[in-house]
Amino acid sequence: MKVFKYIWMLSIIALFFWACEEEVALDAVSIFPADATINKGDTQQFSATVTDVNGDTVSDATVEWASSDELVATVDEAGLATGVDAGDAAITATADGVSGTASLTVEFSLLDIIPGTWDVVGMEQALLLTTNSTQTAFNMFVKGEGAVSVTGDYTAELTYMFGGESDENETVFNLTEESIWDSDEGALLPMLIIHEIQGETSGMLLVAETSLGDTIFYHVEPAVYDYDASTGILTVPETALLEMETGASSITVSGTLGYTTFDVPAYTATKVDLPFRAEGEESVETTVTFTAEGGFSRVSTSTYEGETEMETGEGSWELESDSCLLIIETYTKSDEPGEMTDTFVICFNMISEDIVNAYFEGNLCEEDVGGDKEYESEAECLADHEQMFALDEGSLVVVTSRDSMVFERQGGSSLARTGHSMGWKRNGDLKSVLRSLKTAYPIR
């Protein structure tokens, strides 16, 4: 009897502790990974960890999985999600009424999107600078900070500046109302030129155009100014200049103008946007076609001053990476005999099924060395671009040129057209412009 009573009491105690364990409530469900990105058609495995109010992991909890948008992604009972279409979905794991959520982004796969015919509807240009040290660079291609004002018998507001210390003894600044990027040839007028040969002579000259189309010159010696090379800021105190030919009229210049600066972190390709360089009244249309079987074709038509030139190409493409294609193209130009072959890589950022950003990149200093090219060595090219952007000597590692385009699928949804219509692969023109700017307008 006593043994039965003892066993009964132990059973009651065991049931008590079992009941207490059952009553420990669940507190949280965490999902790994917390966010993920996959291509359409790919999968992502999620796992859930359930913890109770004591912070202990509950390994035997039953977890139910769900997707907030099954048109974007589905998820099975084991937490395996599948991308259905581009978009964002929340993946939820629930255990006994307690839930946790992860974010899943589904993107278009390049192989899914690229087959079709596309119009090139816009183009922008940029450089990417990679240095071996963190520093601040100057961008002379964009409007500066501040202005130097011209008042009196001629008025102007000068907001662009090019130049600096061109060598150990000479300093030249050129101040204009517009970027030199907008001019194919010749000087932009009005232009204020500050020129000094240390220890010898200095002067300030404003070259302007009158309403009758004549060129007029205002001049003063010596030039009074202050330039802080560490900040790129030029200060011109109030200075009077006389018209050179007769001295009958005068102007006054004064103000502070500084280069727009940007940070260049060490060993990080830093993008420098370049204003679009106008090509007169040229009209350009380019259409490219990619077939699902790997075929490529292109037609580029340009019209300038009533004359039309056409460039046509055919070739093949293959996947270089998840976002880039390797293209081999044989093309002809209407104004040149024979065929030419080009091999290049074009990369894509997909916005939608009908709109993609595409870009070419090239190592500018590697491509422009030797033979009949501009530079005898890569080091010479890098040194020139260090000077152009006021970077420390010996710090520039790579200069990358990038032409970015907007591709719009024929028959697809349209994008508000931005940028400028241009020809195909204009890196060569970009490099020649940069070389001419470096020669004409050195920063230091």
CA angle, 291 as apex, 287 and 296 as ends, to 5°? 55
User: For residues 239 and 253, is the Cβ–Cβ distance under 8 A?
Assistant: yes
Segment (H or E) for 25:
none
Neighbour-count burial of 7, counting CB atoms closer than 10 A to its CB (0-12 exposed, 13-18 middle, 19+ buried): exposed
Residue 37's pLDDT is what?
Answer: 92
* Radius of gyration of the chain measured on its C-alpha atoms: 33
How far apart are alpha carbons 27 and 50 in whole angstroms?
8
Give pTM, 2 decimals.
0.64
Residue 443's pLDDT is what?
Answer: 42
**Separation in Å, CA 158 to CA 140, 175, 196, 218:** 13, 6, 20, 15
Residue 3's pLDDT is what?
Answer: 47
pLDDT digits (tens, 9 = 90+) for 76-105: 999 999 999 888 999 999 999 999 999 999
Residue 353's pLDDT is what?
Answer: 82
**What domains, with CATH codes, occur in the chain?**
2-107 (2.60.40.1080), 112-133+265-427 (2.40.128), 141-258 (no CATH)
Residue 186's pLDDT is what?
Answer: 52
Q: Amino acid identity of 338?
A: G
Q: Which of 346, 356, 394, 319 is nearest to 131 (CA)?
A: 394
Residue 368's pLDDT is what?
Answer: 60
pLDDT digits (tens, 9 = 90+) for 249-276: 899 999 999 999 999 999 999 998 776 5
Mean pLDDT by 10 residues, the chain (444 residues): 49 47 78 92 94 89 94 95 92 93 90 90 84 93 93 94 76 86 63 88 91 88 92 95 88 96 94 63 81 94 83 94 92 88 88 85 76 76 87 93 87 51 45 49 44
